[in-house]
Chain A
């Protein structure tokens, strides 16, 4: 994709190395951008990235050596770490846990045997399986000790046994040791003692392997999730650091001066030198949300529903009042983790989802499995034996079988018609077009239900929201899944297909540290206790700030360039579910700051759950202190171009095609997205094509391209209010 002006100063680079393709996004000083693609090279990500960057810069007639020196910011998001985890090709880790808990990875709390399953499979116990442990049982040793939930020592650390356990791990030639002891987030003394002993032993034996303490890296309550997180840090994250450094080195070799940053699950970017890299594991769907928030800030939009449809899933997130919610126990790759993650809900419905008619009930079923990169049966080389949603797109004429991925792949419409007819239409007693349209309707309906229940379930109404639609498949269905919901506006950035990469470039340089605490709060605390609370919070926050400062120091960012914010996770006393509330301040001045936090918590609680569920009579508990430190980085600005007339130029029109719509074939105009310019209006029925995405404009709707290269999908005035 290309949008060019004569002179170029590339400023920001974003790389999204997915499972199959590596997308590169380059933005210049005017907000103009190019997107490049290349096959991912899992064994050497720097290679795929270099080719992808070259592909992008080609549009500007530049090469990497010309472009890189002017870049001031570079962000990377990749799946290397995830792949390492999934393929169990990580480090040789040893674990030290509280004695009696040595079977953690065999037990998996039970819950990991069905994580990531569809509803049916979760019920169907015969499908449940344990995962291959990252660390074999004989490299997991128990340390006799116990600390209780108040941080009190119930059983002192047995030092001799600790020594013996460390000796065994050293004998086993581990390349990292993780320590996770019960309630160490409250009292880290035993973990620190273990480290001290381990260091002594290793020094004596002339060995030096890193030691990861859970109380140091992820001091949050929940022992198994915390262990998983620390273990993944040692097993997959640390070994992947080298790969990120290779990408950095490859940039530098081409004259780049920026420090490469990595997208992290909390929505910020962190340095490749960061202490905790595990949180970059789950950054996949986050990029788009961060991009949507940034775009929202530039456009003055505070409430945004972010929707992303890819081949396998539909990802949904809410931005309310300019912020997203953070969840603290995400599930990734069948692991429960203790990490802050931008809340994105995924359902297994994408353009590659399989479509079947259940032979017992004769009802249509979508997914949850998917054709993935093999598209559907219309892709003859894909070797797929079940029709997918894309087959239906092809049957209906939404997609041009000869222009898939910009004509990189040719699909067979005849095959799509044949299989949709025989597998879906005939069993249902429908004709092939009715059946294909029905599948799309069911898909869009279920997406719409999901969008709606997510908004309403949190106490909002779609009327206060705009919807942003991106990802390769989002714009095809945007009209369908937003219909009748009453959104203020539906926005489709013309760079929808590369939006994830774009989003990464919009993220703050931000470190975030969480620490589980237990501070009861009530309005009737005596004054000295109120002051004591403020002092304790500030003291603990200072410790977290120091961690943040240390991270920034390693990137030569001075302290005065860092803005701190103190956040709290708060719950009603006795409840287990907490919510995150920001303060906008770097420390507490007096008790009124706490009161403001509590008031915000109550507001948020009423929205997220329900007003009736508020329970202030239980009192409040601050469960987690969070410190976020941000440093300014160059972010993309919006391109602004003059608006010309409504009528697109003749060369933007690619022709016309018969498209099946609501029971009949209509003639749709086909447009080339790259040739449409700001101000142009396209009325439905129309299809707008770009190499990696397609926008479907229904007959009663139109799209208008604004000065920032964003399409706005609206009902046509004449037919607005018409009920579908």
Chain B
């Protein structure tokens, strides 16, 4: 029962002879009017037949999990196969997610945006939406985070009406952007973001259009991965379609239609209920920052050569009914860089956090989306409103901006007594090892090494953070096998080790990060970027916990490693404590790049050049002076903390006998008492501090990036400008 359509004969494909667009509008109108999804009042099916209801859901979920497992095996990309960067979802005809698989939960709503875009743009009339069609999207301005996340959408028809959509998304290893890899740093406009497939029909009769396949194969540096990933998404979608049709066959179309609406409305109610259970209503506020330094970068257009600090205020409100509000009022303007985000991407990041902290179960769907209100000011980096803006590495702003959400939720959990769920914010997930060139097989290729999915998490309320095993965007971190990455990248791992001093100190410390030292090998030329936080802390820890260490860059080009090895002298396998660098101890080089310039354009690596990739730790919780001194000793003994910080940060005095590290309890107590005394001596009343700050602000005593940030935020938001002036008691005409 293939519904073959042409432009001339296009008929309505919605239910009961209506158009899809009319269905979407009716749904939205009903939500606006009632506050309930599709206006669903009673969960009749669920209440009348709770068992059948559960069976329907489990069938849909089962199909998604099967689709993901099958697709994972088709893809060749280590990002998809080894790291699991793919996700499937099943949608209502209007594009609301009913259920989704494991994987990159960020996409709970992005594909929904894409489907709705196609409906609003009247795709059902032109280019037509028919059984067997295949659509593709990766445009964040339509519905995505960045171009690297490529979505395939397949409509599901029953007779001549559309009854839903299957959607799958994978993260590509190279996206054919200005610079190699999946998350390019360097684009200053969307025209450099790489392959652009803004919600296009790319196949019919379950077959990809040949022109589409050929065009994409030419537009990426990793055509094989692209091709197999696309096959994987399509195969998964077709499995979902089959399962949905079988379910309809089993329970009847009317029951199916009723069920999918109720499942989403129930998702909304459960979400509100969950928020009510876990949190205390109120207003939570915090600001995060992200930085990059491109001043003097000759390869960028002149207007993009600036040093930047981005302003990321996040206010969370929780209403009495559990409605969760998020506002980024006060964010500064978008810029000529690739870290801007679209509202769809912001949504994605919100879901990543909420699905880990609030609703970690298999029943997450767009219902939860309807339980939130989100505001991203137009013109800001979080909602540029201009389709020419680049979003290539949106995550570099997304991640720091939502560290505040983690903080807010943790405060709310703590206030309510859910201490086990408290978690201090993550660090930025970097350094990203990304680039491209001629690989060990002599072919043009590119890579994004997903080792950076294994950062340290924030500290808990009564335990340390998880070491090197998760990322804020993916709780299921996997570094991948060294031997597998070495088949993909022309680099040898000289080491992959625990990185000392990465964890944010606190009564409970954050999880630690790792470092990989890699040597270019078997490549005539390869270019790599550094991508990490570097110039500023993006956020603080919780309740006196410190932030994690910021990243740094260290590359050794044209070094003497070959001679060192020939003489069988020690060569470095890590950098270790930066104050006693192993790299410096073993090697010299014509060019040593060691600085806080952690966001860079690609730069060249030749045979045996070294690249250091440091992954960050998580933030701490509580005052480090309250940390159990024995835990500090253990961190020193295991190499998580350098001895020099035991005293200066934690006030712990250690003793050493051979390899054993012990605590001098008495000296520690004295040290801590003295540190507290110093703190008291140096402390000033807040009123005094504010006065001094006010003077600085009045004088305009701030570095240019900070001045630019506040000026931009104040220009964009009157509310923020008013608040800024009021806080610092500035005159009404104060500007920067």
Residue numbers in B under 8 Å from A692 (CB-CB): none
- CA–CA, A526 to B124, complex, Å? 52
Nearest chain B CB to A165 CB, angstrom units: 13
- CA–CA, A225 to B479, complex, Å? 13
Mark contacts of A617-649 with chain B using CB atoms, 8 A cut-off: 1 yes-contact digit, 0 otherwise.
010000000000000000000000000000000
- CA–CA, A535 to B327, complex, Å? 68
Q: Which of A105-113, A258-266, A415-423 contacts B (4 or more CB under 8 A)?
A: A105-113
Residue numbers in A under 8 Å from B475 (CB-CB): 114, 122-125, 128
Contact indicator A457/B70 (Cβ below 8 Å)? yes
In the complex, whether A30 has a CB less than 8 A from a CB of chain B is no
Contact indicator B361/A119 (Cβ below 8 Å)? yes
In the complex, whether A206 has a CB less than 8 A from a CB of chain B is no
Contact indicator A156/B565 (Cβ below 8 Å)? yes
User: Which A residues, 282 to 298, have Cβ-Cβ distances below 8 Å to chain B?
Assistant: none
Among A99, A362, A364, A446, contact of B62 (Cβ-Cβ < 8 Å): A446
Residue numbers in A under 8 Å from B573 (CB-CB): 99-100, 142
- CA–CA, A221 to B82, complex, Å? 14
User: Which B residues, 338 to 370, have Cβ-Cβ distances below 8 Å to chain A?
Assistant: 355-356, 360-363
Contact indicator A574/B76 (Cβ below 8 Å)? yes
Residue numbers in B under 8 Å from A615 (CB-CB): 227-228, 231
Contact indicator A158/B568 (Cβ below 8 Å)? yes
Residue among B59, B243, B492 with the most chain A CB within 10 A? B492
- CA–CA, A446 to B483, complex, Å? 38
Contact indicator A110/B478 (Cβ below 8 Å)? yes
Closest to B514 in A: A107
Contact indicator A360/B58 (Cβ below 8 Å)? no
Nearest chain B CB to A207 CB, angstrom units: 22
Contact indicator A363/B50 (Cβ below 8 Å)? yes
Nearest chain A CB to B42 CB, angstrom units: 13
Q: Which of B159-167, B466-474, B693-701 contacts A (4 or more CB under 8 A)?
A: B466-474
Given contacts A119-B361, A124-B475, A575-B228, contact A129 B466 (CB under 8 A): yes
Residue numbers in A under 8 Å from B74 (CB-CB): 577, 609-610, 613
Nearest chain B CB to A421 CB, angstrom units: 15
Given contacts A148-B492, A223-B483, contact A360 B81 (CB under 8 A): no
- CA–CA, A113 to B421, complex, Å? 18
Given contacts A101-B496, A438-B50, A610-B70, contact A125 B356 (CB under 8 A): yes
Nearest chain A CB to B595 CB, angstrom units: 24
Mark contacts of B482-493 with chain A using CB atoms, 8 A cut-off: 1 yes-contact digit, 0 otherwise.
111011000011
Contact indicator B467/A106 (Cβ below 8 Å)? yes
- CA–CA, A126 to B454, complex, Å? 15
Nearest chain A CB to B409 CB, angstrom units: 12
Nearest chain B CB to A56 CB, angstrom units: 40
- CA–CA, A46 to B421, complex, Å? 47
Nearest chain B CB to A107 CB, angstrom units: 6
In the complex, whether B63 has a CB less than 8 A from a CB of chain A is yes
Among B66, B273, B571, contact of A453 (Cβ-Cβ < 8 Å): B66
Residue numbers in B under 8 Å from A221 (CB-CB): 481, 483-484
Closest to A136 in B: B638
- CA–CA, A108 to B59, complex, Å? 34
Contact indicator B224/A122 (Cβ below 8 Å)? no
Closest to A130 in B: B467
User: Which A residues, 419 to 451, have Cβ-Cβ distances below 8 Å to chain B?
Assistant: 428-430, 434, 437-438, 441-442, 445-446, 449-450
Contact indicator B363/A361 (Cβ below 8 Å)? yes
In the complex, whether B105 has a CB less than 8 A from a CB of chain A is yes
How many chain B residues sit at the interface, stated as a range, is 35 or more
Given contacts A577-B76, A609-B73, contact A110 B481 (CB under 8 A): no
- CA–CA, A158 to B571, complex, Å? 11
In the complex, whether B644 has a CB less than 8 A from a CB of chain A is no
In the complex, whether B453 has a CB less than 8 A from a CB of chain A is yes
Residue numbers in B under 8 Å from A208 (CB-CB): none
Contact indicator A612/B356 (Cβ below 8 Å)? no
Contact indicator A449/B498 (Cβ below 8 Å)? no
User: Which B residues, 16 to 58, have Cβ-Cβ distances below 8 Å to chain A?
Assistant: 46-47, 50-51, 53-55, 58
Among A128, A146, A428, A612, contact of B50 (Cβ-Cβ < 8 Å): A428
In the complex, whether A245 has a CB less than 8 A from a CB of chain B is no
Contact indicator A612/B659 (Cβ below 8 Å)? no
In the complex, whether B315 has a CB less than 8 A from a CB of chain A is no
Among A130, A138, A182, A441, contact of B483 (Cβ-Cβ < 8 Å): A182
Residue among A126, A158, A456 with the most chain B CB within 10 A? A126
Given contacts A146-B494, A160-B568, A453-B62, contact A123 B481 (CB under 8 A): no
In the complex, whether B239 has a CB less than 8 A from a CB of chain A is yes
In the complex, whether B440 has a CB less than 8 A from a CB of chain A is yes
Residue numbers in A under 8 Å from B224 (CB-CB): 574, 618
Residue numbers in B under 8 Å from A101 (CB-CB): 482, 493, 495-496
Closest to B66 in A: A453
Nearest chain A CB to B352 CB, angstrom units: 10
- CA–CA, A144 to B336, complex, Å? 45
In the complex, whether B127 has a CB less than 8 A from a CB of chain A is no
Residue numbers in B under 8 Å from A128 (CB-CB): 466, 469-470, 475
Among A142, A148, A446, contact of B521 (Cβ-Cβ < 8 Å): A148
Contact indicator B81/A577 (Cβ below 8 Å)? yes
Residue numbers in B under 8 Å from A102 (CB-CB): 497
Contact indicator A445/B55 (Cβ below 8 Å)? yes
Given contacts A182-B482, A618-B224, contact A110 B470 (CB under 8 A): yes
Residue numbers in A under 8 Å from B285 (CB-CB): none
Given contacts A429-B47, A450-B62, A576-B76, contact A125 B470 (CB under 8 A): yes
- CA–CA, A585 to B454, complex, Å? 45
A sample of 16 inter-chain contacts (CB < 8 A) reads A106-B467, A108-B469, A109-B479, A123-B356, A126-B423, A149-B486, A154-B519, A156-B565, A221-B484, A361-B269, A363-B46, A364-B50, A434-B51, A572-B76, A612-B234, A618-B224
- Enumerate the 10 nearest inter-chain pairs by beta-carbon distance, A residue then B residue, closest first: A100-B495, A100-B573, A438-B51, A124-B360, A110-B454, A110-B477, A575-B76, A123-B360, A453-B66, A449-B62
B residues with CB within 8 A of A: 46-47, 50-51, 53-55, 58-59, 62-63, 65-66, 69-70, 73-74, 76-78, 81-82, 102, 105, 206, 224-225, 227-228, 231-232, 234-235, 238-239, 242-243, 266, 269-270, 273-274, 277, 355-356, 360-363, 420-421, 423, 440, 453-454, 457, 460, 466-470, 475-484, 486-487, 492-498, 514, 517, 519, 521-522, 565, 568, 570-571, 573-574, 638, 659
